[in-house]
Structure 1
Amino acid sequence: MIAMTALHTNPLFARLESARHVLVAGAGGGFDVYAGLPIALSLLHQGKDVHLANLTFAAVEGLPLEDWLAPDVAAVTPRSALHQTYFPERTLAQWLELHGYPSTVHALARTGVQPLRAAYRALIERYEIDAVVLVDGGTDILMCGDESGLGTPEEDLTSVAALADLVDLVPELLVVSVGFGVDAYHGVSHGLVLENIAALERDGAYLGAFSLSRTTREGALYVDAVAHAQQHTPEHPSIVNGQIAAAVRGEFGNVRFTARTSGSELFVNPLMSLCFVFTLEGLAHRCRYLDRIENTHLMRQVSSAIAEFRDDVTWRPPRRIPH
Structure 2
Amino acid sequence: MTPLHTNPLFGRLADAERILVSGAGGGFDIYAGLPLALSLLHQGREVHLANLSFSALAGLPDDAWAAPDLAVITPESAPHQRYFPERTLAQWLRGHGYPAVVHAFPQTGVQPLRAAYAALIERYDIDAVVLVDGGTDILLRGDEAGLGTPEEDLTSVAALAALEGPRHRLVVSLGFGVDAYHGVNHVQVLENIAALEREGAYLGAFSVPRTTREGALYLDAVSHAQAHTPEHPSIVNGSIAAAVRGDFGDVRFTDRTRGSELFVNPLMSLYFAFDLPGLAARCLYLDRIEDTHLMRQVQSRIAEFREDVVTRPPRGFPH
TM-score, scaled to structure 1: 0.98
* In structure 1, distance between residues paired with 2:74 and 2:313: 45
Opposite residue 10 of structure 2, the aligned amino acid is F
1:192 aligned partner: 188
Is 1:38 aligned to residue 35 of structure 2? yes
Residues 32-72 of structure 1 show CA distances to partners (whole Å, capped at 9, x for unaligned) of 00000001000100111100000000001111111100000
Is 1:19 aligned to residue 24 of structure 2? no
* In structure 2, distance between residues paired with 1:264 and 1:108: 31
1:180 aligned partner: 176
Q: CA deviation at 1:111?
A: 0.3
2:212 aligned partner: 216
How many correspondences in the alignment? Answer: 319
Give the share of equivalent positions with the same residue, in percent: 77
SS at match of 1:267: coil
2:250 aligned partner: 254
> Aligned match of 2:150 in 148, 153, 160?
153
Q: CA deviation at 1:6?
A: 1.2
> Aligned match of 2:259 in 251, 259, 263?
263
Is 1:102 aligned to residue 99 of structure 2? yes
Opposite residue 213 of structure 1, the aligned amino acid is P
1:136 aligned partner: 133
Q: CA deviation at 1:131?
A: 0.1
Is 1:121 aligned to residue 88 of structure 2? no
Is 1:80 aligned to residue 77 of structure 2? yes
2:59 aligned partner: 62
> Aligned match of 1:89 in 62, 79, 86?
86
Q: CA deviation at 1:321?
A: 1.3
Task: Give unpaired runs (5+ residues) of structure 2.
Answer: none
1:307 aligned partner: 303
Opposite residue 230 of structure 2, the aligned amino acid is P
* In structure 2, distance between residues paired with 1:250 and 1:205: 30
Q: CA deviation at 1:12?
A: 1.3
SS at match of 1:174: strand
* In structure 2, distance between residues paired with 1:276 and 1:11: 11
Residues 160-198 of structure 1 show CA distances to partners (whole Å, capped at 9, x for unaligned) of 0000011x3111000001100000000000000000000
Q: CA deviation at 1:137?
A: 0.2
Is 1:205 aligned to residue 201 of structure 2? yes
Q: CA RMSD in A?
A: 0.5
Opposite residue 108 of structure 1, the aligned amino acid is F
Opposite residue 26 of structure 1, the aligned amino acid is G
Residues 276-305 of structure 1 show CA distances to partners (whole Å, capped at 9, x for unaligned) of 000000000000000000000000000000
* In structure 2, distance between residues paired with 1:86 and 1:77: 14
Opposite residue 27 of structure 2, the aligned amino acid is G
TM-score, scaled to structure 2: 0.99
* In structure 1, distance between residues paired with 2:57 and 2:42: 30
* In structure 1, distance between residues paired with 2:24 and 2:172: 10
Q: CA deviation at 1:236?
A: 0.1
**Consecutive aligned runs of 4 or more in structure 1 exceeding 3 Å deviation:** none
